[in-house]
């Protein structure tokens, strides 16, 4: 007998008036890929409702879809204010939590957030805007709510591979497909003295400064 998953799938995205969901096709592809691989039911109805909500916004809006294995879903919406263009986030590396590079759910965005919450708890909001996690091999994976990008010697953005243990973020996927970023295994030393960014599909790229 197959056990019903005890977690939900999450998609967080931005909707714009007249344009719908930003990078919507990539969000939809990731969502349906996860529902197929994890055996979640009735995904089409949830996405149709999300599309309807996105088409109705009259200002930049944060949309959050939560989807359960039996097909139940909830859509939350809230106003969205972009960060200032010159914003720089303070980044730190988690000390009490690590990701397992072979974790079965790391490729999917789910409600299982224990390790990310533990990493976030290492620092106060005043000490870190985002916290980066390493895996068991000491490789950099991702932030608690973002993917990481590092400017390489050739000017390209480098981002950790999925094999290090990170989410296939929608912004990350869009930059790789546009050949504006490529994957490379990264360790903490590779971040020193480099131009850093973190980002997700909701907020886009955000400049970062690593603090020890």
CATH architecture of the domain with residue range 9-79: 2-Layer Sandwich (3.30)
Q: Where do the domains of the chain lie?
A: 9-79, 88-210
Burial group, residue 176, by CB count within 10 angstroms (0-12, 13-18, 19+) = middle
| Confidence bin at 197 (pLDDT 50/70/90) | very high
* CA-angle at 114, arms to 146 and 196, nearest 5°: 20
Residue whose C-alpha is closest to residue 192's, from 103, 132, 107: 132
Q: Which of the two residues, 41 and 181, has the higher pLDDT score?
A: 181
The CATH number given to 88-210 is 3.20.10.10
Ramachandran sector of residue 42 (left: φ over 0; alpha: ψ -120 to 50; beta: rest) = left
pLDDT digits over 80-122, tens only?
A: 999 999 999 999 999 998 999 998 888 899 999 999 999 999 9
- CA-CA distance, 161 to 168, in Å (whole number)? 9
Torsion of CA 210, 138, 198, 171, to 10 degrees: 170
Percent of the chain with pLDDT over 70: 99
**Could you count the other beta carbons within 10 Å of the beta carbon of residue 128?**
21
Segment 149-177 shows an average pLDDT of: 95
Is residue 51 within 8 Å of 172, Cβ to Cβ?
A: no
Rounded to the nearest 5 percent, the helix, strand and coil shares of the chain are: 25, 35, 45
Average pLDDT, the chain: 94
């Amino acid at each position: 007998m197959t056990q019903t998953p005890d977690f939900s799938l999450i998609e967080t995205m931005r909707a714009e008036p007249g344009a719908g969901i930003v990078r919507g096709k990539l969000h939809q592809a990731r969502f349906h890929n996860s529902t197929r691989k994890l055996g979640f039911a009735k995904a089409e109805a949830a996405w149709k409702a999300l599309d309807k909500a996105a088409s109705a916004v009259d200002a930049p809006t944060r949309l959050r879809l939560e989807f359960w294995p039996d097909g139940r879903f909830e859509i939350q919406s809230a106003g969205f204010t972009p960060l200032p263009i010159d914003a720089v986030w303070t980044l730190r590396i988690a000390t009490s939590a690590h990701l397992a590079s072979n974790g079965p759910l790391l490729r999917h965005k789910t409600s299982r957030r224990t390790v990310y919450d533990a990493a976030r708890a290492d620092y106060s909001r005043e000490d870190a805007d985002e916290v980066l996690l390493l895996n068991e091999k000491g490789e950099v994976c991702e932030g608690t709510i973002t993917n990481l990008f590092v400017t390489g010697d050739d000017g390209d953005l480098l981002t950790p591979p999925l094999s290090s243990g990170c989410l296939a973020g929608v912004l990350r996927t869009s930059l790789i497909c546009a050949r504006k970023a490529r994957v490379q295994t990264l360790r903490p030393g590779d971040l020193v003295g480099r131009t850093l960014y973190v980002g997700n599909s909701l907020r886009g790229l955000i400049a970062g400064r690593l603090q020890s």
